[in-house]
Amino acid sequence: MKNPSINIELEFISSDILEEFKGEEKMQYILDKIKDNKILVMEESLSSTDEAKLIEATMRNISEKFSGIEVSTLREKQENGIRETIIKLLGGKTGGLTVIGPSKLIKQIKKEPKRISVLAEKKQSDSEKNSEE
């Protein structure tokens, strides 16, 4: 059986880019990239509200071709710690990281409190299998 080659594109996004968007726009920007088969690494952790909004937006985008996302967010240890508060006051970012990708491409994003590992896999959909024959 021939093994079809897998192209996985990783895209790193700085939080400056994301800041330009308002609520819904940000989610659609993220989802458009993911629907393009990209795995995004973002230089920020999503808030709980944003996570919920992202899931909602994902649900609205689901179709026969797009089955959803795998996502994992790493938060800074203490979001409201003294160090973080000072950095925020000075206009800086306190870090954190979010990895999001299409669920068809990602078998699993394994999450541990301080580590994210991404297991990518090309799952063939039935339609792709048929078109190959």
Choose which of 43, 68, 84, 97 interacts with another protein (CB under 8 A): 68
User: What is the enclosing helix (H) or strand (E) of 51?
Assistant: helix 48-61
The yes or no reply on residue 103 touching another protein (CB under 8 A) is yes
Q: Which amino acid is at 76?
A: E
We find the least distance from the C-beta atom of residue 90 to another protein, in angstroms, to be: 25
Instruction: Write the CB contacts of 81 (distance below 8 Å, at least 6 apart in sequence).
Output: none
For residues 123 and 102, the answer to whether their CB atoms sit within 8 Å is no
Q: Which two tokens stand for residue 56?
A: 């909602």
Among 80, 82, 126, 130, binds another protein (CB under 8 A): 126
Which residues contact another protein (rule: CB under 8 A)? 47-49, 51-52, 55-56, 58-60, 62, 64, 67-73, 103-104, 109, 111-113, 125-126
